[in-house]
Chain A
């Protein structure tokens, strides 16, 4: 079992839909990151969380430390949101980063 699990692996949505991507982890962490990777390969950091909730535009990220779970929400999805979304954790005490396998999102116009 991977230390960081994401679901779903693939997701197709219609433009305007509300989207949720989940991340569960089994290690102690100092922070959790949500990354976006576009088809061209470039990676952008969306959020870094250690507690609570963050919002940036149409994106919202939440984390529940007790349940070892984080969610990334996209409101009013748009075709330009089509990308791979990757959850990564910074393991506490070791400084190592562990990545989920990613969620491939396709938003149809």
Chain B
């Protein structure tokens, strides 16, 4: 158990809908990372937050947004969902930049 929790574990929704994925980092970790893993793209870095502030942005679509709250949990919002958004979404946390990351179990999103 990495200490990082993600909810929900599975999510099935329809095209055009909006969903929110939640991540609670390990106790004391200030950095939260979001990653997408689809079958054809492999792991892709989406975005990183550090202590509530956006630190780095990767291949995150404009339809996606994220935030980190004062209690350090983070949410990833996906809107106007398309079939191609079906993927595993992982959250990871670390104590700081270029520190070891601890991954959550992932949320499997299926868009039908």
Q: Which chain A residues in 53-109 approach chain B with CB under 8 Å? A: 86, 88, 90, 94-99, 101-102
What's the nearest-Cβ distance from chain B to residue A51, in Å? 12
Residue of A nearest to B99 (CB): A48
* A27: Cβ under 8 A from any B Cβ: no
**A86, B98: Cβ atoms closer than 8 Å:** no
With A30-B97, A94-B56, A95-B97 known as contacts, the answer to whether A88 contacts B43 (CB < 8 A) is: yes
CA of A47 to CA of B60, assembled, Å:
26
**A96, B56: Cβ atoms closer than 8 Å:** yes
Interface residues, chain B, with chain A CB atoms under 8 Å away: 2, 33, 35, 42-45, 48, 55-58, 88, 90, 92, 97-103, 105-106, 108
Minimum-distance CB pairs A-B, first 6? A95-B56, A97-B45, A43-B103, A31-B98, A99-B43, A48-B100
CA of A78 to CA of B48, assembled, Å:
35
Q: Interface majority SS on B: helix, strand, loop or mixed?
A: strand
- 10 additional contacts, CB 8 Å, given A41-B106, A88-B43, A97-B58? A35-B103, A43-B103, A44-B103, A90-B98, A95-B55, A95-B97, A97-B33, A99-B44, A102-B42, A102-B43
**B103, A45: Cβ atoms closer than 8 Å:** yes
**B45, A101: Cβ atoms closer than 8 Å:** no
Selected A-B contacts with CB under 8 Å, 16 pairs: A30-B98, A42-B103, A43-B92, A43-B106, A44-B2, A45-B100, A45-B102, A48-B98, A48-B99, A90-B98, A95-B55, A96-B45, A97-B35, A97-B48, A99-B42, A99-B43
* A50: Cβ under 8 A from any B Cβ: yes
CA of A44 to CA of B44, assembled, Å:
16
What's the nearest-Cβ distance from chain A to residue B88, in Å? 6
Q: A42 contacts which of B33, B56, B101, B105 (Cβ < 8 Å)?
A: B105
